[in-house]
Structure 1
Amino acid sequence: MSSERAQRGGAGAGFDEVNDDDDDVQDLLESYVEPLSNDELIELDEVSQEAEKEGDEEEPVRGLDIKTLKECLGGIEKALETLKEHDPNSARSSKLAHNVEKVSRFIKKSMMKKQEKPKSSIYSFFKPVRHAIPVRPANPATAGPSTSATEVSTAGPSSISSFFK
């Protein structure tokens, strides 16, 4: 067996070696068929509660807000001014400043787009309904009984049923 492992480069257990442990696999499968005892259930519950507590203590999500980004860009601009003042090679410092300012402008434009982006109103999720069949006002000649004040009866339930005829 060791010569086979040496031929394979000595990497881990081979398939034949795993098959030798059929009894262990069978024992493991049979252990899942048996119901858990009360003590085992309590232990599982405690472990899951501990895992939930650990999950609750996650680190807060970090993000780069606009205020922090403005502060960073301001610091970069100050550093570029200092570089221009103290660098003996003005061509080098000017080229660097130009490239950094180019990137800075791009970031500022992106920031402005985020700030100007209007919030969606609830009306943007609804569309006007257009009826497939046009709705027409009823023709008074075919509309049924009139509901004018002179013809309305106060006789009780029969007046309601006559309205729907």
Structure 2
Amino acid sequence: MSMLLAFVPFIVFAVFDRILGVVPALCAAALLSAAFLVRDWLSPGRTVKVLEIGTVLLFGGLAVFALAAHTEWSLLGVRLRVDAGLLVVVLASMLIGQPFTLQYAKEQTPPEVWTQPGFRRINNVITAAWAVAFALMVLADVAMIYMPALPLWVGIAVTVAAIVGAIRFTQWYPQRMRAKLRAAG
């Protein structure tokens, strides 16, 4: 559940973008991301997470750029940048050997589980599933920008399906792997 809370800044951005505009929405998401980062830094038993660092850098960087360059992005243009940035953060977490789900999994499991066969592999697979979901969202954003005849609901449907699919996979896959390991002895 705490991993899903890390995506709240993206929801805040989506809501505020419609109400206040791009720059205030980016700033609000950056501030909320920073608050999550500080909470994890100061809370015993919690660790600062790659996803939260990336989220602060993503929203903060986009906000600073938009303010400095006086850029007016379309909704789809800023959504593409946010989704692509999130994809980069997830892929970078895999490249540095710290799949973003691993840090959340360690907070929810005892240390003896961390060394069990498959624990890291499960997190690599789950993180890869999230990367696929974000890649689908980026592709939907690109399609919506370059094929304006596509109805808006197509992009929304792809986004919802990708996120729901990743959430369900995140819930299902560890249970499946634990059952498979138990059956193997």
TM range (shorter): under 0.3
Q: Of Structure 1 and Structure 2, which has the larger fraction of its residues in helix? A: 2
Higher RCO, 1 vs 2 (CA within 8 Å, ≥6 residues apart): 2
TM-score normalized with structure 2 length: 0.25
Find the structure with the greater CA-based Rg: 1
TM-score normalized with structure 1 length: 0.28
